A = this chain, B = another copy of it.
Amino acid sequence: MAGDARATKRRLLDAAIAEFAQHGIAGARVDRIASSAISNKAQIYHYFTNKDGLFDAVLGELAEDTQREAPIDAADLPEYAGRLFDYFVDNPVKDRLAKWYRMESDRAALVDAVTASTNNKLAAITKAQEAGLVSTRLTPVELLATIVHLSALWSSMTPDMSRHAKDIPRERRRQVVVDAVAALLRD
């Protein structure tokens, strides 16, 4: 891909990240993304086919980014949950993107990079269970679902609970997540 094309694609993706994080899949508008990227709708259709294709590209990047910044270590799953917590606290826009993906999961398609990332994590947990490093009380799917969910504990609260929790320092929030996963793994 020529440098100009690559730069245009990058600007479109960055504009899409901001737009999808703000408005979700259903609420995002392709014309706003095009104008914010100093591009046009024809280029979006050229590179990404349609709005859903653009969302898939954004989600694929998110999955790869998360996997790089918060890699799984099945021998220390509490700390993995702590890393996920850190990643989403430090990247609030990506936190919101991930929330939309779950919120609109009936509309959202399977994205290859996300599927691959999930399969990789399930394989790591399975292997650690077979090696006797991790409790087998929960299946790999049950464990992964609970760990990922717990890592998002503090970022999905009602306004009144947020108010009650506002003085809990970041370090303590992280500890609550890590300890909850540790408790889960005790037989």
Chain B residues whose C-beta falls within 8 Å of the C-beta of A105 in the assembled complex = 157-159, 162
**A23–B165 Cα gap in the complex (Å)?**
28
**Contact-residue size bin, chain A (C-beta under 8 Å from the other chain):** 35 or more
Chain B residues whose C-beta falls within 8 Å of the C-beta of A161 in the assembled complex = 118, 141, 144-145, 148
The reply to whether B184 and A138 contact each other, CB–CB distance below 8 Å, is: no
Secondary structure of the A contact surface, majority rule: helix
**A141–B24 Cα gap in the complex (Å)?**
30
A89 at interface by CB-CB < 8 Å:
no
Chain B residues whose C-beta falls within 8 Å of the C-beta of A114 in the assembled complex = 158-160
- Write the A60-89 contact mask toward B (1 if CB under 8 angstroms, else 0): 000000000000000000000000000000
Task: Enumerate 8 A-B pairs (CB-CB under 8 Å) in ascending A order.
Answer: A26-B27, A102-B158, A105-B158, A114-B158, A141-B164, A145-B153, A145-B165, A146-B176
